[in-house]
Chains A and B, each alone.
Chain A
């Protein structure tokens, strides 16, 4: 084995003594998101007090809070969250499966790459909101059209990441696997998948948020349930607090999905972090 050329990880004994300033900055970093949230709420309330806009345009935070409590208590919000989440998860699963499968084939086959890449680049540039109404006509007004919308919006970035991920596997490592007479499956499972995993998970992080957008676009066009539908309904009833509650629920959903992928990433790429030098 070659000796590692990279700098050796620092041990506790080699670390410089912790300064008070650093502990303050660490503390500030820990509470920064909460402080920022409080500052935003305060700014919002100030705008309401100053009556920059009438309350039906910018309602007070308390009105939004009360509306949120109301729709959580009567189960309305949960029902719509479930509908959107169903479309998001299914769309994400379909989009990922299709993108990773096709992406792998494109990465391995130059003819396929040349044939499909221009087409994919062209389709990728078409905003999903432009063709979402057509998807409703083709796939019906039920859950299927939302899943397809969500899957399509996930598909293109994930496809690109898959191609990049597989192509970025170092040639030296491929040669190594070949010299060890590894089978195609062994090369795939022991080399390509682990090596492409950081890029794939990077794509998944983007896709998780995009899947929510896709499902909501579908619900905006046509739906009986879901957070996109709830926003449309609230707008038609001039219920601005409910619009904000639904938007916040969507934000929370996208954030949870993102955090889920982060957890998966931490778990899956633990080996990478273990082997990487620790800089503090």
Chain B
């Protein structure tokens, strides 16, 4: 009997030691992101730098690559998490890839059509017969264009669609196209800067037709696979929580987010004077956040900071910070991360219209809000 109790006690000690060791060992995780390191991935950099992943017991490494490759890696279990667009999730699932969208990062679709504000274009319908540039007939740009045209009663054949790669500022300012499909948080700023410097032909002011005003489509979000959800739901919850914390901090304190991103984004404009101004702004915002301001107050603080920095610094210095602020506007919502059925339905219908998805399709299992932090649960 005594021997039995000694054995139980020894086993318990051993188990506690092993689990203790495991608890101390962070889980290595490679996080997939598209494109290249960019200030638009600030929530991930904030989560890394402020230790939100580490708090969840995760040792995260980021990797960048082609979105379709990322989807396949996640679907095959080679990677467990990545930032992927919603429409890619639907297309991939239709092609047998078991990927699942667990957190809506962009609450507004980031694509739009940039045009010369003085060209007399009043609506998307006025683009009929015009030459419109697009990176190519693929991805979010093409989906967004189709949604915009469709909402205005047009189709691709009504415009002269010109594939121009990701060179919209160059091609637009050369006058080779009259409008261009772009990411609204980025290229319009660059084009406006060139116009201000007199380097964009006859263009003096640019304007944008955003997709978000015409269609509520799912954009980028955090994606995992069915196996991870089934076997490691706590891991999914942990990654979502860390990303959510990083995103919330970036939305609330963009100056701090920009400073933390500088370690990851090469060539991010940050001279001594700009760094000092951002540090001052970040500290002031940290103090202001202690009073728990509402969302409207935080939005106001961002607008004030934009105005202050643009007045004090050269456009070339402040441009990437403006990109971050524009992008934050696309992330911000009352409930970060929440994804809704209507936008998935609209996205699926658009994909069917484009021939990228065939009916009957199912949205079951493609997305879930089940892993959102409790405060953000619907």
Q: A-side interface residues toward B, CB under 8 Å? A: 53-57, 133, 136-137, 140-141, 221-224, 232-233, 235-239
Contacts and interface: CB of A to CB of B under 8 A. Distances in A.
Contact of A56 (B95, B163, B174): B95
A137 B95 contact: no
Given A137-B170, A237-B356, A57 B76 contact: yes
Contacts of A57: 72, 76
B97 interface: yes
Interface of B: 66, 68, 71-72, 75-76, 91-92, 94-97, 136-139, 162-167, 170-171, 174, 176, 356
Contact of A222 (B91, B92, B95, B136): B136
A53 B137 contact: no
B163 A236 contact: no
Contacts of A223: 136, 163
A238 B170 contact: no
B76 A136 contact: no
B137 A56 contact: no
Contact of B165 (A222, A233, A235, A238): A222
Contacts of A237: 91, 95, 356
Most buried by A among B66, B76, B163, B171: B163
A53 B75 CA distance: 11
B95 A54 contact: no
Nearest to B98: A54
Contact of B171 (A137, A221, A239): A137
A115 to B, nearest CB: 32
Contacts of B164: 136-137, 141, 222
A203 to B, nearest CB: 31
Contact of A54 (B76, B94, B165, B170): B76
A125 to B, nearest CB: 23
Contact of B75 (A56, A232, A236, A239): A56
A237 B143 CA distance: 13
Given A54-B76, A238-B71, A238-B97, A233 B163 contact: no
Contacts of A236: 68, 91, 138-139
B153 to A, nearest CB: 24
A60 to B, nearest CB: 13
Contacts of B171: 137
B167 A137 contact: yes
Contacts of A141: 162-165
Nearest to B93: A238
Contacts of A232: 136, 138
Nearest to B164: A141
A53 B76 contact: yes
24 contacts: A55-B96, A56-B95, A56-B96, A57-B76, A133-B165, A133-B166, A133-B167, A136-B165, A137-B165, A137-B167, A137-B174, A140-B176, A141-B162, A141-B164, A221-B165, A222-B136, A232-B136, A235-B68, A236-B68, A236-B138, A237-B91, A237-B95, A238-B94, A238-B95
A236 B139 CA distance: 7
Contacts of A137: 164-165, 167, 170-171, 174
A104 to B, nearest CB: 36
Interface of A is mostly: loop
Contacts of B165: 133, 136-137, 141, 221-222
Given A55-B96, A141-B164, A223-B136, 4 more contacts: A137-B167, A232-B138, A238-B72, A238-B95
A135 to B, nearest CB: 10
A136 to B, nearest CB: 5
A238 B68 contact: yes
A97 to B, nearest CB: 28
B233 to A, nearest CB: 22
- Of A53, A238, A239, chain B has the most CB atoms within 10 Å of the CB of A238
A80 to B, nearest CB: 13
Contacts of B91: 236-238
A57 B75 CA distance: 9
A38 B171 CA distance: 49
A140 B160 CA distance: 14
Given A137-B170, A140-B176, A232-B138, A56 B162 contact: no
A57 B165 CA distance: 27
Contacts of B356: 237
A129 B171 CA distance: 19
A48 to B, nearest CB: 14
Report which residue of B68, B71, B163, B165 has the largest number of chain A beta carbons within 10 angstroms of its beta carbon.
B165
A223 B163 CA distance: 7
Nearest to A232: B138
Contacts of A221: 165
B75 A222 contact: no
A224 B75 contact: no
A237 B167 CA distance: 23
Nearest to A239: B95
The 5 A-B pairs of least Cβ separation, nearest first, read A238-B95, A236-B138, A222-B165, A235-B68, A141-B163
A136 B167 contact: yes
Contacts of A238: 68, 71-72, 91-92, 94-95, 97
A54 B92 CA distance: 13
Nearest to B67: A236
Given A137-B170, A238-B68, A222 B163 contact: yes
For A55, A221, A222, A224, which residue has the most chain B Cβ atoms within 10 angstroms? A222
